[in-house]
Structure 1
């Protein structure tokens, strides 16, 4: 059960040498996605191998944290006691590379107002020693 009333109960991932940066970068406010040093291709889920050029020179690098919802659902079932419903489960494409998709929750908004195509920005929820990347609506401003 969560320690804080707004914290969502979660099954936490097992850390390994490939995914630790992704799950801990939020401690520094960074969304870290593995990127190939040779061809610049982002790689997710995290692995040490680049599927684009077959290089093994892949390291975690910070991205902007901005993205777009490409698909989503609103869940109305509380899977745990005291779980707040409804909530949004979404697939977000990151701004840097549209074929990198993160499965996440959309937070800090009315779940029934969320729609495909919405622009979002990462925020993090701490769970033990991990920092879960979540996304919230993000309005772009004109320069």
Structure 2
């Protein structure tokens, strides 16, 4: 299996699937094998959990620096989103101008194109956030 194919087959890149600890109820994304709070009590017991796709912006920054694969996006917004289920997830915020973004703004995760590998033409998809 090629590396691009291997990377594309991570389920949590396309659906917000994490894990939930049956002992304490905490939700994690990306998935974890062990709860850092319950330790041995959670080994082998973590449950797959599909997160809600909504949350609020916890923190954000606007990126103005040239990055080779993302030059056409400049400037773009990267935020830490506190999901309604609890985990904080980092992702790009789209469909909004930098001056429109605020801490506490409600957002939802959507499935979007992340980038295209030029020589091979492989398109990578994943989640981004949009204001709601």
What is the TM-score normalised by the length of structure 2? 0.73
Superposition RMSD in Å: 2.5
Give the Å deviation of 1:85: 1.5
Q: Supply the distance in 2 between the matched residues of 1:129 and 1:113 (Cα, whole angstroms).
A: 29
Cα distance, 1:86–1:23 mapped onto 2, change above 3 Å = same
> Is the 8 Å Cα contact of residues 93 and 130 (structure 2) preserved in structure 1?
yes
2:60 matched to 1:93? no
> Is the 8 Å Cα contact of residues 123 and 136 (structure 1) preserved in structure 2?
yes
What secondary structure sits across from 1:22 in the alignment?
A: helix
Which of 124, 133, 136 is residue 111 of structure 2 equivalent to?
Answer: 124
Q: What corresponds to 2:129 in structure 1? A: 135
Give the length in aligned residue pairs.
Answer: 116
What is the TM-score normalised by the length of structure 1? 0.68
2:17 matched to 1:32? yes
Residues 1-20 of structure 1: pairs in structure 2 closer than 5 A: 15=7, 20=10
Cα distance, 1:36–1:126 mapped onto 2, change above 3 Å = farther
- 1:96-121 deviations in whole A, cap 9, x for unaligned? 12xx2111100111232111111100
Q: Supply the distance in 2 between the matched residues of 1:111 and 1:59 (Cα, whole angstroms).
A: 37
Q: Supply the distance in 2 between the matched residues of 1:46 and 1:130 (Cα, whole angstroms).
A: 20
Q: Supply the distance in 2 between the matched residues of 1:129 and 1:35 (Cα, whole angstroms).
A: 31
Question: Can you give the 5+ residue segments of structure 2 that lack an aligned partner in the other structure?
Answer: 115-121
Which moved further from structure 2: 48-57 or 67-76? 48-57
Give the Å deviation of 1:41: 1.4
Q: Supply the distance in 1 between the matched residues of 2:123 and 2:67 (Cα, whole angstroms).
A: 23
